[in-house]
Chain A
Amino acid sequence: MTPQEDFTHDAMQYAPQLFSTAMRMTRNRNNAEDLVQETFIKAWRSFATYQQGTNLRAWLFRIMTNTYINKYNAQQRKPTETELDDVEELFLYKRLGAVDQSQLSQSAEDQMLSMFTDDEVKNALEELPDQFRIPVLMSDVEGFSYKEIAEILEIPLGTVMSRLHRGRKSMQKMLYEYAKKRGLINEALLPQGDDE
């Protein structure tokens, strides 16, 4: 295979991952498809500058993230850290006891997690403001390291960590609210106060 064919073959392998992330970014199938297409067109144009041995996957996600931020004027680099409410540590874990057992078929400890539907998890992610959503997507869904995420987003490592932390807690709170709406939570079962 020529280097071009190699490159195409390797890049195409990442298409489903890029598409899923594009779906969470744009929240719309047509826009997500356009975003991945644009990413591949840009990647192909930059092929001459692509160094063999570079992490192709991270490179493609970086192109896509930049394209998304520029195209949708995402608030990625603006320091709007107040955009998310501060959520208590271990938010969801501390509320496990409030799951109404009678509403669930499972009895395992992990019921709080298995009870969430795909759509609820996707929605919770998509509800996060961009600057929190993209780090959570890159870490939890795509498995990139903090350093790779810092490079993809061009933000400091410490910022990656704090946004991940806040984004994850905020997702937990949203999922809890979804469960409440579905009648799966009985708050009377929660321990009262923080004096324990």
Chain B
Amino acid sequence: MANCQETLNEMYAYLDAELATERATEIIGHLKVCTDCQSAYEFHAEFKSIIRLKAQKDELSEGFLDRLRECFGDDSLKDA
């Protein structure tokens, strides 16, 4: 099983789904038994998801998608 320091060090690699299955299992094992690391983990999981949620909302201007379609030449306009 991983210890606290290892768990905190590898927390983001785990969150980013970059750990090998075996190592991920060791990290999960530690999170299950250590409330300190568990709460740090939950915070960072939320931090990651909130960046995604809040930085992904940009309304497109009217007509922008139409202008983009024109980038593809005539072939793409057949069924437009």
Contact = CB atoms under 8 A, between A and B. Distances in A.
B26 interface: no
B36 to A, nearest CB: 11
A165 B68 CA distance: 35
Interface stretch (A65-73, A97-105, A138-146): A138-146
15 contacts: A2-B75, A5-B79, A12-B68, A29-B61, A37-B67, A37-B68, A40-B71, A92-B47, A93-B40, A110-B42, A118-B54, A118-B55, A137-B55, A140-B48, A168-B47
Chain B interface size band reads 35 or more
B52 A141 contact: yes
Q: What is the predominant secondary structure among interface residues of chain B facing chain A?
A: helix
A164 B12 contact: yes
A140 B51 contact: yes
A189 interface: no
B20 interface: no
Contact of A24 (B8, B50, B55, B67): B55
Main secondary structure of the interface of A (DSSP, over half): helix
Contacts of A11: 72
A146 B18 contact: yes
Contacts of B79: 5
A125 interface: yes
Contacts of A164: 12
Q: Which 3 A-B pairs have the closest CB atoms?
A: A8-B76, A40-B71, A121-B54
A145 B76 CA distance: 31
Contacts, number: 108
Contacts of B69: 8, 12
A5 B54 contact: no
A15 B60 CA distance: 9
A189 B57 CA distance: 34
A155 interface: no
B50 A116 contact: yes
Given A12-B68, A12-B69, A19-B60, A172 B55 contact: no
Interface string B37-63: 001101110111011101111101100
A4 B8 contact: no
Contacts of B46: 110, 113
A196 to B, nearest CB: 12
A140 to B, nearest CB: 4
Given A33-B61, A140-B48, A40 B72 contact: yes
